[in-house]
Structure 1
Amino acid sequence: MAIFSKSFDEPDERRTPDKTVVDVVKLPGASVARVTFQPGWRWSECIQPVVGGDSCQVRHVGTLLAGEMEVIHNDGSKARLLPGAAYVIEPGHDARVVGEQVAIGLEFEAQAAETYAKS
């Protein structure tokens, strides 16, 4: 078969740290995650207790589908992500949901999909 498809409604794996749902689908040669962050979510408060460390050490490649997020890198740079934004976020950052809307993103980096928010 040359075409593979899976639904995030029936993920291969689901992780649910505080204010977070990570749904992972595994395809031949690729893993993709849909990540849902509730209002009030912040990496240093919701994910750090699960994985440890001073900042997120995962490289993210994805797109934000809904909501708004702010990413603060250890080097002092900041970015606001809005719906429709494609992004690459290098390791060494904190992030938070901005406002009262749920933020939903898709992660295309296989390592991020397979390991994010996993103890």
Structure 2
Amino acid sequence: MTTAQRTEQKNFATPDETRTFENGVVDLVGIGGAQIGRLTLQPGWRWSEHVKPIAGTELCEAPHFQYHVSGRLVIRMADGTEIEAGPGDVTSLPEGHDAWVIGDEPVVVVDWWGASNYAKG
């Protein structure tokens, strides 16, 4: 029986791994042969200020496929394209972007693609 054929259940209340960084945290669960991440980003968080020093790249080079649970996030691509995402939105982001929280509510996103390398030096 392969990993994908097993019935599995995980909960972000007990993640397999947690990575913290200034104004944020990513909780990771391994399930179905993949790592799924829940990012919680506090008001004032900005990738270029709080994660860039960890990543060591000019922009976020992790592609993302995310469901936005709460809060509002602005994402600016290297070409200047900018989107604002909020609760209920699903975003697919290629590598090469910055992002920041707007407003006073924490941003929570569930990330199916890219979280395994997020905030990892």
**TM class, shorter-length:** over 0.9
| 2:94 alignment partner in structure 1 | 90
TM-score (norm 1): 0.95
TM-score (norm 2): 0.93
Structure 2 spans left out of the alignment, 5+ residues? none
RMSD: 1.0
Give the % identical residues: 36
What amino acid does structure 2 have at the position aligned with 1:8?
F
**Structure 1 residues 16-57: Cα deviation after superposition (integer angstroms, max 9, x where no partner):** 011111000001312100000000000000000111111000
Question: Aligned match of 2:48 in 19, 44, 55?
Answer: 44
What amino acid does structure 2 have at the position aligned with 1:87?
T
Count of matched residue pairs: 117
CA distance in 1, matches of 2:79, 2:115: 24
| 2:12 alignment partner in structure 1 | 8
Alignment of 1:1-119 (within 5 A): 2-109=6-113, 112-119=114-121
Higher share of residues assigned strand: 2
Structure 1 spans left out of the alignment, 5+ residues? none
What amino acid does structure 1 have at the position aligned with 2:39?
V
CA distance in 1, matches of 2:109, 2:117: 15
Instruction: Report the secondary structure of 2:21's partner residue.
Output: coil
**Structure 1 residues 46-91: Cα deviation after superposition (integer angstroms, max 9, x where no partner):** 0001111110001000111000000000011000001000010111
